[in-house]
Amino acid sequence: MLQLHFRPRAALSAAVLALAIILSLGIARAGEAPVKLDARFSQSVMKTGETTRAFLRVGLRGVRPPEETARTPANIALVIDKSGSMQGAKIADAREAALMALGRLTADDTLAVVAFNHGVDVVLPATSAGDLPNMRRAVRDIRAGGRTALYAGVETGIDEVLTFLDPYAVNRVILLSDGLANVGPTSPSQIAALGRKAAGEGISITTIGLGLGYNEDLMTRLALNSDGNHAFVEHPDDLVGIFNKEFGDVFSVVGQGAEIEIDFPAGIRPLRTLGRPAEIEGQRVNFDLRQIYGGQEKYLLVEVEVAGDAARNKLQAAQVSARYTDMRTKQEAALKDVVTLSFSNDPDRIAASRDKDVLSAATMQIATERSEKAVKLRDSGRIDEAKKMLEDNAAYLKEQAQALSAPALQSLAEEQARDAEAITSGNWVRQRKDMRSRQYKGKTQQSY
CB 62 within 8 A of CB 34: yes
Average pLDDT over residues 170-179: 93
CB 60 within 8 A of CB 297: yes
Same domain, 123 and 154: yes
**Residue 219 counted as domain residue:** yes
**Residue 152 counted as domain residue:** yes
Average pLDDT over residues 181-199: 86
Same domain, 333 and 363: no
Rounded to 5 degrees, what angle do the CA atoms 52, 58, 60 make?
A: 170
Same domain, 101 and 52: no
What are 206's strand-pairing partners? 174
Phi, psi of 410 (to 5 degrees): -65, -40
pLDDT value for 226: 95
15 has a pLDDT exceeding 50: no
What are 208's strand-pairing partners? 176, 231
pLDDT value for 308: 81
Cα–Cα distance, 248 to 38 (Å, whole number): 24
**Residue 24 counted as domain residue:** no
CB 148 within 8 A of CB 182: yes
Average pLDDT over residues 250-270: 96
**Residue 144 counted as domain residue:** yes
pLDDT value for 4: 33
**Residue 256 counted as domain residue:** no
Convert the pLDDT of each residue in 375-406 to its tens digit. Answer: 999 999 999 999 999 999 999 999 999 999 99
423 has a pLDDT exceeding 50: yes
Same domain, 137 and 245: yes
Cα–Cα distance, 258 to 322 (Å, whole number): 7
Rounded to 5 degrees, what angle do the CA atoms 247, 287, 55 make?
A: 110
Same domain, 290 and 203: no
Of the three residues 285, 311, 345, the one that is the final residue of a domain is: 345
CB 389 within 8 A of CB 423: no
Rg (CA), the chain: 24
Confidence of residue 30 (pLDDT cuts 50, 70, 90): low
What range does the domain containing 418 cover?
357-444
Average pLDDT over residues 419-441: 93
CB 154 within 8 A of CB 120: no
- What's the CATH code of the domain at 89? 3.40.50.410
Dihedral of CA atoms 57, 63, 64, 69 in degrees, nearest 10, equals: -150
pLDDT value for 436: 97
* 93-122 per-residue burial string, b: 16 or more CB within 10 A, e: under 16: bbbbbbbebbeebeeebbbbbbbbbeebbb
Same domain, 376 and 400: yes
Of the three residues 285, 313, 345, the one that is the final residue of a domain is: 345
Q: How many domains does the chain have?
A: 3
**Residue 259 counted as domain residue:** no
Same domain, 297 and 439: no
**Residue 6 counted as domain residue:** no
Same domain, 112 and 228: yes
pLDDT value for 305: 96
Using CA of residue 308, residue 312, residue 313, residue 319, what is the dihedral sign? negative
In the Cβ-directed half-sphere of 409, how many Cα atoms lie within 13 Å? 25
pLDDT value for 403: 97
Same domain, 130 and 182: yes
Same domain, 368 and 414: yes
* Beta strands across the sheet bearing 284-293: 45-47, 331-344, 314-326, 253-263, 284-293, 279-281
**Residue 377 counted as domain residue:** yes
- What's the CATH code of the domain at 323? 2.60.40
- What pTM does this model have? 0.88
CB 270 within 8 A of CB 303: yes
Same domain, 163 and 244: yes
Same domain, 102 and 203: yes
Confidence of residue 36 (pLDDT cuts 50, 70, 90): very high
Return the higher-pLDDT residue of 133 and 11: 133
CB 135 within 8 A of CB 126: no
